[in-house]
């Protein structure tokens, strides 16, 4: 099995400021489905707790799992700051066996797409199925880079993604360029993180390459059926009436 993609260093420390996943406004969508099927929730690849922390603060019972110690440490800091409690598990989402069975498993932030091949996706979804209660539901988020595909370009130049001004006049700049392979359905992102000191001089530079793959929605639904999920429905843009046609963000809800 290949090594998992590890968020670390500046990429982990500034994930919340740089990644912009909150722009998808997805928390309400997850809450709606959890409320419809109350019980414990596993936040798979929970990262810094973008969803786990507000859910725990609002009284939901959430357990987080992630492979990055640094992302989990930030998640723990944010939970402590809120005075909330959640169990956090350091593990690989491809193969995990948990003693607890969950009413809900959520995989937000398109994290499954960091898994390199379909065998990894299958292992991950089978692990999700195994840890769900008999009437449990899985919420799996998927990202389709339609704008990049429609642009006709296969790669971009590096451009500034985000500038974060810190205390003491320090700053962090995140740059990104991409290459896309529509046949292989792989998007390769090259992320550069630069930290500048108070005098504006570069003091740290970190470069990371990340590959995201996407799988046609029909194939995902078929795979869920093969694994044993009784039914699944896809929603576009984290809306209950969201059309999946033309949506870059899709969430599949699958019932055991």
Ligand X SMILES: C[S@@+](CC[C@H](N)C(=O)[O-])C[C@H]1O[C@@H](n2cnc3c(N)ncnc32)[C@H](O)[C@@H]1O
**Interaction site with ligand X (CB under 6 A):** 4-5, 7, 21, 45-47, 50-51, 66-68, 71, 92-94, 108-109, 111, 114
Min CB(57)–ligand X separation in Å: 15
Cα–Cα distance, 57 to 225 (Å, whole number): 34
Min CB(208)–ligand X separation in Å: 12
Nearest to 176 by CA among 132, 206, 203: 206
Min CB(192)–ligand X separation in Å: 17
Helix axes 118-130, 217-227, angle to 10 degrees: 50
Min CB(63)–ligand X separation in Å: 13
The smaller minimum CB distance to ligand X, of residues 46 and 187, is found at 46
The smaller minimum CB distance to ligand X, of residues 34 and 93, is found at 93
Cα–Cα distance, 252 to 110 (Å, whole number): 11
The smaller minimum CB distance to ligand X, of residues 15 and 229, is found at 15
The smaller minimum CB distance to ligand X, of residues 62 and 67, is found at 67
Is the Cβ–Cβ distance between 206 and 15 less than 8 Å?
no
The smaller minimum CB distance to ligand X, of residues 21 and 62, is found at 21
CA 40 vs. chain centroid, Å, equals 19
Min CB(68)–ligand X separation in Å: 4
The smaller minimum CB distance to ligand X, of residues 10 and 46, is found at 46
The smaller minimum CB distance to ligand X, of residues 123 and 196, is found at 123
Give the nearest residue (CB) to ligand X.
Answer: 109
Min CB(168)–ligand X separation in Å: 27
Min CB(23)–ligand X separation in Å: 11
């Amino acid at each position: 099995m290949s090594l998992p993609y590890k968020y670390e260093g500046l990429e982990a420390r500034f994930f919340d400021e740089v990644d912009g996943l909150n722009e998808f406004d997805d928390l309400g969508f997850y809450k709606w489905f959890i409320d419809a099927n109350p019980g414990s929730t596993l936040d798979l690849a929970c990262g810094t707790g973008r969803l786990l922390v507000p859910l725990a603060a609002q009284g939901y019972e959430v357990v987080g799992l992630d492979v990055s110690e640094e992302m989990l440490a930030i998640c723990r800091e944010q939970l402590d700051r809120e005075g909330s409690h959640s169990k956090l598990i350091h593990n690989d989402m491809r193969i995990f066996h948990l003693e607890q069975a969950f009413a809900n498993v959520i995989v937000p932030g398109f994290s499954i797409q960091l898994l390199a091949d379909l065998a990894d996706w299958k292992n991950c979804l089978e692990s999700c199925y195994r840890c769900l209660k008999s009437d449990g539901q899985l919420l799996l988020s998927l990202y389709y880079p339609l704008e990049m595909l429609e642009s006709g370009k296969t790669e971009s130049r590096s451009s500034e993604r985000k500038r974060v001004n810190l205390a003491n006049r320090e700053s962090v700049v995140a740059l990104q360029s991409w290459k896309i392979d529509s046949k292989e359905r792989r998007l390769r992102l090259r992320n550069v993180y630069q930290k500048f000191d108070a005098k504006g001089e570069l003091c740290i530079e970190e470069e990371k390459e990340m590959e995201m793959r996407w799988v046609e929605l029909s194939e995902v639904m078929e795979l869920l059926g093969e694994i044993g999920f009784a039914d699944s429905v896809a929603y576009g843009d984290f809306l209950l009436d969201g059309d999946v046609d033309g949506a870059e963000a899709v969430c599949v809800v699958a019932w055991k």
